[in-house]
């Protein structure tokens, strides 16, 4: 099978067309202590709510920083819901490919609030991308969030956590983001 690469532009971001790569990420603060997150590629989109009980944007930026700087090959980011959680697993593969999986559990298993559970985790999103493209898409979605929400509004709405601006800036500084 031969795949032809072509340039596409989405949200002021030019990407090489590859089948099934992450095309969209965004996060919206929907109320005090509540947010909504979306991941999408050519075949699927997933939008889910999460609460202030976890700080997934900070964890996502730190995890991507660790993957980019080769400190790890695997990162887990928990998006707590009430009840349940979505767990984003990022696994570095050969040639800077990134395996992206999101699992849903109806308990707080990954947050270690529930010591042992018998719940079955459900795979609700799966993707393969390049690490660089995934970071670029996360950066664009995060910049959209910051256009809609000031840092003060973020802190007020997110309640326990300020926007992780230092982690976001560290991540942006580690790669060339043309």
Q: What is the DSSP string of 116-127?
A: S--PPPEEEEEE
pLDDT over 50 at 3, yes or no: no
In 149-174, which residue ranges form alpha helices assigned H by DSSP? 151-158, 165-174
pLDDT over 50 at 2, yes or no: no
> Residue 16: beta bridge partners?
7
- Give the separation between CA 1 and CA 50, rounded to whole angstroms: 40
pLDDT at residue 176, rounded to an integer: 62
On whether the CB atoms of residues 20 and 8 are closer than 8 A, the answer is no
Q: Does the domain formed by 19-174 have CATH 3.30.2450?
A: yes
pLDDT at residue 58, rounded to an integer: 97
Report the largest interatomic distance among the alpha carbons of the chain, rounded to a whole angstrom: 51
- Give the separation between CA 35 and CA 81, rounded to whole angstroms: 10
User: Mean pLDDT, to the nearest integer, of 130-134?
Assistant: 93
pLDDT over 60 at 51, yes or no: yes
pLDDT at residue 4, rounded to an integer: 32
pLDDT at residue 108, rounded to an integer: 74
Higher pLDDT, 125 or 19: 125
pLDDT over 50 at 114, yes or no: no
Residue range 145-173, pLDDT digits in tens: 999 999 999 999 998 899 999 999 999 88
pLDDT at residue 118, rounded to an integer: 52
In the chain, which residue ranges form alpha helices assigned H by DSSP? 56-68, 131-148, 151-158, 165-174
**How far apart are the two ends of the chain, measured CA to CA in Å?**
30
pTM: 0.83
Average pLDDT, the chain: 85
pLDDT over 90 at 10, yes or no: no
User: Mean pLDDT, to the nearest integer, of 1-23?
Assistant: 51
User: Mean pLDDT, to the nearest integer, of 56-77?
Assistant: 96
pLDDT over 80 at 106, yes or no: yes
């Amino acid at each position: 099978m031969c795949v032809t690469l072509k340039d596409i532009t989405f949200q002021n971001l030019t990407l090489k067309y590859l089948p099934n790569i992450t095309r969209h990420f965004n996060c919206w603060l929907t109320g005090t202590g509540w947010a909504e997150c979306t991941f999408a590629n050519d075949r699927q989109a997933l939008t889910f709510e999460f609460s202030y009980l976890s700080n997934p944007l900070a964890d996502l930026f730190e995890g991507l920083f660790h993957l980019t700087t080769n400190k790890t090959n695997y990162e887990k980011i928990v998006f707590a819901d009430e009840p349940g959680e979505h767990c984003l697993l990022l696994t570095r593969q050969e040639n800077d490919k990134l395996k992206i999986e999101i699992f849903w559990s109806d308990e707080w298993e990954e947050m270690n609030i529930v010591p042992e559970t018998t719940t079955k985790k459900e795979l609700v999103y799966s993707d393969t991308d390049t690490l660089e493209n995934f970071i670029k898409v996360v950066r664009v979605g995060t910049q959209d969030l910051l256009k809609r929400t000031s840092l003060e509004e973020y802190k007020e709405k997110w309640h326990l956590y300020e926007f992780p601006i230092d982690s976001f800036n560290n991540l942006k500084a580690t790669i060339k983001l043309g």
